[in-house]
Structure 1
């Protein structure tokens, strides 16, 4: 019986320059996510129950983005399986954060037009 090769081991490592660019992009968008959350938290006005879901989505999405960034920072982040995992976490975090921001905007619009 022949041994099957591990597909992750067959993939080449990520180039350091490419990973550095990815780290920069992840860091910038994670800082925008945290900046939006900080701006929203410090804005005047009371928080309402409908703010909980968007805030939760932004917080969870930001955590995933930071987790993805943390996976890429060590030298092991050059390994293809770690890079791929970080990329998937980052995209999930970005989508979740985007949904949270969209939800916050929709909630603000709805609360502004309803008495």
Structure 2
């Protein structure tokens, strides 16, 4: 008699302590992303057309980070496939947010040098 491989046993769950640390890290970096966006949006300067793409990248990246965090919060976040999916979403969001921040800095630098 041969044993069938149980798909649920193929990928062990993530330990709760490890997931909790990941949730903390996701939350801290998400707060920095949202904080940067809030600070930038409330600055007294005039928005220019070149501010649009970096702002869109930061907003979309932050949405992906929020989505990744939301996947980890329920108990199902301990399942390895859910954890891996949230990790990929988070990294994509972090990269996109970082590109937006660097894009905004470069756009401001180019704008300042052109004056």
Please give the TM-score of this superposition, normalised by the length of structure 1: 0.93
Report 1:1-115 matches (<5 A).
Answer: 5=5, 9-115=9-115
Q: Which runs of 5+ in 2 are unaligned?
A: none
Contact 1:58 1:98 in 2 (8 A): yes
Q: Aligned-residue CA RMSD in angstroms?
A: 1.8
Q: Which runs of 5+ in 1 are unaligned?
A: none
* In 1, Cα distance between equivalents of 2:99 and 2:6: 36
Aligned to 1:44, what secondary structure does the other structure show?
coil
Contact 1:65 1:90 in 2 (8 A): yes
Q: How many residues align?
A: 114
Runs of 4+ in 1 over 6 A off after TM superposition: none
